[in-house]
Amino acid sequence: MILKPVFIIAIAVAAMIGVMVPSVFAQQFDDFDYTIRGGEVLDFELDSENTSLLIFIDARARGELIITLPRAVIDAKIGSEDIDFDVFIRGMQLTSYDETITPYDRTITIPFKRSNDELSIVGTHIFSQPAATVQTQSIDQTVQSELNEKIPDGQAKLLIFSDTEWTGAFQSSSVDFTEIAGQNDDDILFECNSTFGQQAMFGTKIQKLTQDGYLEIFVIQNQEIVSQGSTEANFGEVYLNGNCISNSSSVLTPVGGGCLIATAAYGSEMAPQVQLLREIRDNQLLQTESGSAFMGMFNDVYYTFSPTIADMQRESPMFKEAIKLGLTPLLSTLAIMENADSESEVLGLGLSVIALNLGMYLGLPAFGILRLYQIRKN
């Protein structure tokens, strides 16, 4: 009778050890971002001892797995340089695979055949992160989510993303110089209100307090990115400034408005092509009288038809691809404007860009039509 309680306790202790021991060598994760074609993902398992991620799948046909690996969970580096993961399918090493790399994650595409049931991704580092950290949205996803949320008119939001300590300050035409400090991610809502006849401005500078880590900041207003910057340098700092925008002023809103056609074509406010357009607008055109005047006249016309074109792109993938093709020459010529720093340079280079685009979009087609007409006539 005495042995029975002891036996029960022994079983309970053994069960606890059985639960605890696997967590030392392997962690279960169910929330990696992935898509799979030709099968189903059954389970994930992180093996800390072998610095690898095991993926168990039910492969019903030839297909592929596209999986995003957060650097906070698994990575492959020598020093500060990225190296390739070793990818194995049923113990056989994959010789090549497609990969997309960002500062925060790495997305790889793994092809597989029917009956393949185990994939292994081997890196150099496994980080023991709580499930909540693994489930944290990427910066791009978080920013996109913030853009979908309406901010009260006359206010802007400062988004700070970091994995370390930082300090800095911000100021706007409506807010006095304000010092801020923190660690990891944060966001600050502040007044940034442009009214009729007065263009409000903002500025912020934030610095990392450590050698390691990253810092990325955004200023968003009226569901668009107004300015952004990032650094991974030792004790690096990010400085942003720009013009506030406000729905309360119909005159000023278009000047700071987003490029609806380019955003619809490239799928996101954060696409490099859209960022190029925004940076040229904010850093060159809106910093001069001639550039601001041009943007005012341009947007009076642009916003009469751009919403319709954007909607047509969403409804027709072929039309969307045609628009992307048509935007390519424009983006190439606009890159010239990045060299414009003064009023005269903005005016001179701006006229050159307009002339180039008139030649490409109107002159060349007109010449081609005329040439065809002459050939048919002869």
80 lies in the same domain as 173 = no
Q: Which of 76, 99, 134 is the last residue of a domain?
A: 134
Q: Which of 189, 215, 247 is the last residue of a domain?
A: 247
Report the chain's mean pLDDT, rounded to a whole number.
78
CA angle, residues 252, 255, 256, in degrees to nearest 5? 95
158 lies in the same domain as 198 = yes
Tell me the percentage of the chain whose pLDDT exceeds 70.
82
Question: Is 8 contained in some domain?
Answer: no
Question: Is 9 contained in some domain?
Answer: no
130 lies in the same domain as 149 = no
195 lies in the same domain as 226 = yes
101 lies in the same domain as 178 = no
217-239, pLDDT tens digit by residue? Answer: 999 988 888 888 888 888 889 98
- CB-based contact 119:112 (threshold 8 Å): yes
The CATH number given to whatever domain includes residue 230 is: 2.60.40
Question: Is 227 contained in some domain?
Answer: yes
271-320, pLDDT tens digit by residue? Answer: 788 878 878 887 778 778 787 778 778 777 876 787 788 778 878 888 88
- CB-based contact 187:170 (threshold 8 Å): no
Residue 249: pLDDT above 70? no
Residue-number span of the structural domain to which 76 is assigned: 24-134
Encode 194-217: b = buried (16+ Cβ within 10 Å), e = exposed: bbeeebbebbbbbbbeeeebbbbb
Rounded CA gap, 64 and 109, in Å? 7
Beta-carbon contacts of 85 under 8 Å, excluding residues fewer than 6 positions away, are 69, 76, 99, 106, 108, 121, 122, 123
115 lies in the same domain as 151 = no
135-163, pLDDT tens digit by residue? Answer: 345 788 888 889 888 888 888 999 999 98
The count of structural domains within the chain is 3
Rounded CA gap, 66 and 44, in Å? 14
- Token code pair at residue 359: 């030649």
Question: Is 89 contained in some domain?
Answer: yes
- Which residue type occupies 162? S
Question: Is 172 contained in some domain?
Answer: yes
Of 22-36, 160-174, 334-348, which gets the smallest average pLDDT?
22-36
338 lies in the same domain as 353 = yes
- Token code pair at residue 81: 């340089």
- CB-based contact 303:254 (threshold 8 Å): yes
Choice between 97 and 258, residue whose per-residue pLDDT is larger: 97
User: Other CB atoms closer than 10 Å to residue 313's CB: what's the count?
Assistant: 23
358 lies in the same domain as 263 = yes
Question: Is 228 contained in some domain?
Answer: yes
Question: Is 17 contained in some domain?
Answer: no
* pLDDT level of residue 22 (50, 70, 90 thresholds): very low
Question: Is 16 contained in some domain?
Answer: no
272 lies in the same domain as 378 = yes
Rounded CA gap, 159 and 226, in Å? 11
227 lies in the same domain as 211 = yes
Q: Which of 188, 213, 247 is the last residue of a domain?
A: 247
- Could you report how far apart the first and last alpha carbons of the chain are, in Å? 115
- CA-based nearest residue to 140, from 104, 108, 165, 184: 104
Burial of 165 by CB count in 10 Å (0-12 exposed, 13-18 middle, 19+ buried)?
Answer: middle
**Average pLDDT of the residues in 61-77:** 89
153 lies in the same domain as 209 = yes
273 lies in the same domain as 208 = no
- Which residue type occupies 21? V
- CA-based nearest residue to 336, from 349, 319, 323, 318: 349
